[in-house]
Amino acid sequence: MTTTVPDTELKARHRTMWASGDYPRMVETFLTPLGLRLVEACAISAGDRVLDVAAGTGNAALPAAARGARVTASDLTPQLLADGRRLAEASGLSLEWTEADAERLPFDEASFDVVMSSIGVMSAPHHQEAADELVRVCRPGGTVGVLCWTPEGMVGALFRAMKPFMPPPPPGAQPPPLWGSEEHLRGLFGGRVEWTALRREALEITAFPQAHDYARHFRAYYGPTIAARANAVKDGREAEFDAALDAVCDEFDHGTPEQARFDSEYLLAVGTRR
């Protein structure tokens, strides 16, 4: 007999996971460039009504607001939104911050000119529901833009390495890096978005002297890794878990013995809502 996890319980787990560690530190250390890349690809300008879905601390929302757009940053985890508010205040930027589930957005249909998400909506467990919501709240002729890690890239490999140590996913849940597959993305949106940009790029990461420093960073600050390792500890497999993460970092390190360098691949997709 299959036991299903109630949606409220599942989302509560997700909030707890993303509130653990220190995601703002990860953004500051190496993720900052991604938000601006998405904003530029979406050609956001002053006066645009913009929704950043699964915005976290506002890595894409903040540069959109800096361009004069009217920005709403939404996220499931209130702790991340609080961190984003502090960053916005420190920069003198004005945004709306709304606690919201990416699969059930509390906004009217066609209420935004641009709906975007930078490595955020991909973490919603039910991909089709989340994609449907991105389309629903974007006006016809508006822009939908997502930036997601690819299955073949480093973060995709990281999730594969963690999978054996995690409990089975709830029914219907799909792995986040699938959003970085062109085929999967087209399937989610069907003919509702005409893609004008659909390309793979890479984030160069040089913040860590040694490859295993990167693995330690994930173990200390990244919510999904913290949750997976906690599960490994319960099973007495923490050494095996640590070795698996170290191996991923060794595989993707293209630097020198003195300076690690990683090229973390993502899919950048921008299109027009039909």
Residues ≥6 apart with Cβ < 8 Å to 237: 165
Q: Nearest Cα to 37, choosing from 149, 201, 179?
A: 201
The Cα–Cα gap between 249 and 242 comes to 11
Q: Read off the amino acid at residue 214.
A: Y
Backbone φ/ψ region at 208: left (φ over 0), alpha (ψ -120 to 50), beta: beta
According to DSSP, residue 111 is labeled: -
- Residue 7 binned pLDDT confidence (cut-offs 50, 70, 90): confident
Q: Read off the amino acid at residue 34.
A: L
Which residues make beta-bridge pairs with 246?
Answer: none
Given the DSSP bridges, would you call strands 112-118 and 49-52 parallel, antiparallel or unpaired? parallel
Query: Is the pLDDT at 3 greater than 50, yes or no?
Result: no
Q: What is the mean pLDDT of the chain?
A: 96
pTM of the entire structure? 0.96
- What digits encode the pLDDT tens for the residues 93-108? 999 999 999 999 999 9
Alpha carbon of residue 159 to chain centroid: 13
Pick from 3-7, 187-191, 214-218: least confident: 3-7
Query: What are the angstrom distances between the C-alpha of 213 and each of 39, 89, 221, 250?
Result: 30, 32, 12, 11
User: How many Å is the Cα radius of gyration of the chain?
Assistant: 18
Helix (H, G, I), strand (E, B) or coil at 47: coil
The Cα–Cα gap between 220 and 214 comes to 10
- Residue 6 binned pLDDT confidence (cut-offs 50, 70, 90): low
Query: Is the pLDDT at 268 greater than 80, yes or no?
Result: yes
Could you give phi then psi for residue 27, rounded to 5 degrees?
-60, -50
Q: Which two tokens stand for residue 134?
A: 């991105």
- What digits encode the pLDDT tens for the residues 190-238? 999 999 999 999 999 999 999 999 999 999 999 999 999 999 999 999 9
Residues ≥6 apart with Cβ < 8 Å to 228: 162, 165, 166, 241
Query: Is the pLDDT at 4 greater than 80, yes or no?
Result: no
Domains of the chain: 7-151+168-205+264-273 (3.40.50.150)
- What per-residue confidence (pLDDT) applies to 108? 98
Query: Is the pLDDT at 1 greater than 70, yes or no?
Result: no
